[in-house]
Amino acid sequence: MHPVLPLARAFRYTAELRGVQCSSATAERALGLVGLAAKANAPVGVLDPGERKRAAVAAELLAGPAQLFLDEPTAGLDPAQATEVLRLLRRLARGGMTVLLTTSSPVDAARCDKVAVLAAGGHLAFYGTPAAARGYFGADSLEEIYERLAGLGDPAAAWSRRFFHFSRTRVGFTLVPTTPRAPGPAVLVPDAAGPHSAGRPGVVFPGGPAADDGTDGEEDETTFATSPAALRSPDGQAPAGGPLRPVSQLPVLIRRDVEVIARARRTQAILVSVPIVILLAFCVLLGVGALDGPAVVTLAWAVLGGLAAGLAYELPARGSEAGALRGEVFSGLSTGAFALAKAAVLLPVLAVADVLVLAVPAIAGRLPDGFGPAYLAVAISSAVGLAAALAVAVRAARRS
């Protein structure tokens, strides 16, 4: 999310882009669910890494998903922050949501119902409960599993072959069903009684209590203002929605870009300072006689200044919005709508900047064919510069 936006405002834009109606009350409930209700008006940029991770999870909850897939959700967090994130995920799982995550932290893995141990090369070396994993690898802790997967020869492939045989000869492992699940509430059936079981059988209704997950309940120490079911509509249904069409995304993105500029002091400084710097540069060029030659040379300098202004208006923003753009493109944001919204907001500002770029040459009478044709050439060059900067941002988001 954009670091300058207040958390609740960022939620509203995220929900709108996904076609989900998000009122202030809904945003507050989502923040309460992750323990961030007190931070609703705080800019995203002032949150610590753990709070930003929880805020990202809350943003996904606005659409009422049935599953969450997370890549290294505790990466870069200190132990206390990581514990908060894992407790949040446990709370969601107990509320009936499926949570699947990747991690290289044994501490994270120990809090999961099931673990799939992937060795080098993507070999599946084990799948079952954390306790069963320790017994399977003959390890006293999950950390020691890494040692079992290392060593001479090809231990990863060896463990994979062993598990292939193990999973078909030991009680506790079942093949993946190939027939569609019957309609109605999901029936959670453990693999079998014994160390590989995920818990007792139970029935999970949407938004209702989860089945016993076999944990010791330590996560209950963290309290939340609400449950995932509280984000549903009065009839118990998850918020309807989906990524908007590009034409519908455009006005939302324009409104957000305008608000981002209105709140970002650094961006405002760039918008104001770039044309002033170019104007001063022309003063210097005029003073040293660099503009005494043919008028076309002066125009070339002005076109170069317009190109620089177009690049400078967007390239500095790449660092602050790169993460948000990558996530939104993955969630259905149209890169075309993103670029058009940026152009709609920045081109009027560039139009004013181009006047300043040409101020000194125009006053000095060094423009061929007058101000109008020169302004058109500079405006085109500044638009080309802006388009090039936007193309770099879009390409980076697509490649990631």
Q: Could you tell me the residue ranges of all domains in the chain?
A: 246-399
Give me the mean pLDDT over the 51-63 stretch.
82
pLDDT digits over 277-332, tens only? Answer: 888 888 887 777 777 777 788 888 888 888 988 888 887 776 667 777 887 887 78
Distance CA 254, CA 249 (A): 9
| Number of neighbouring beta carbons within 10 Å of residue 382 | 28
Q: Are 313 and 386 in contact (CB under 8 A)?
A: yes
Rounded percentage of the chain residues whose pLDDT exceeds 70: 76
- pLDDT of 204 over the 70 cut: no
Task: Give pLDDT, residue 83.
Answer: 86
User: In which band, very low, low, confident or very high, does the pLDDT at 335 lie, cut at 50, 70 and 90?
Assistant: confident
Tokens of 312: 């400078």
SS3 content of the chain, % helix, strand, coil (to 5): 60, 5, 35
Q: In a 3-state reduction of DSSP, which class is residue 333? A: coil
Q: Are 388 and 310 in contact (CB under 8 A)?
A: yes
pTM here is 0.68
Q: Are 218 and 86 in contact (CB under 8 A)?
A: no
Give me the mean pLDDT over the 230-244 stretch.
53
How far, CA to CA in Å, does 97 sit from each of 59, 157, 357? 15, 33, 57
User: In which band, very low, low, confident or very high, does the pLDDT at 390 lie, cut at 50, 70 and 90?
Assistant: confident
Task: Give pLDDT, residue 364.
Answer: 76
User: In which band, very low, low, confident or very high, does the pLDDT at 175 lie, cut at 50, 70 and 90?
Assistant: very low
Cβ within 8 Å of residue 260, ≥6 positions away: 2, 4, 5, 267
Give a three-class secondary structure readout of 265-318. Answer: HHHHHHHHHHHHHHHHHHHHHHHCCCCCCCHHHHHHHHHHHHHHHHHHCCHHHH
User: In which band, very low, low, confident or very high, does the pLDDT at 217 lie, cut at 50, 70 and 90?
Assistant: very low
| Number of neighbouring beta carbons within 10 Å of residue 127 | 19
Task: Give pLDDT, residue 334.
Answer: 84
Tokens of 332: 């259905």
Task: Give pLDDT, residue 189.
Answer: 42
- Tell me the average pLDDT of the chain: 76
pLDDT digits over 31-56, tens only? Answer: 887 788 888 888 988 888 888 888 88
Task: Give pLDDT, residue 289.
Answer: 75
Which candidate, 153, 154, 211, places its Cα nearest to that of 187?
Answer: 211
Task: Give pLDDT, residue 323.
Answer: 73
Question: Which residue is it, tokens 């500044």?
Answer: 382
User: In which band, very low, low, confident or very high, does the pLDDT at 242 lie, cut at 50, 70 and 90?
Assistant: low
Which candidate, 157, 213, 217, 208, places its Cα nearest to that of 185?
Answer: 208
Q: Which of 99-103, 129-133, 221-225 has the lowest mean pLDDT?
A: 221-225
Phi, psi angle pair for 212, to nearest 5°: -60, 125
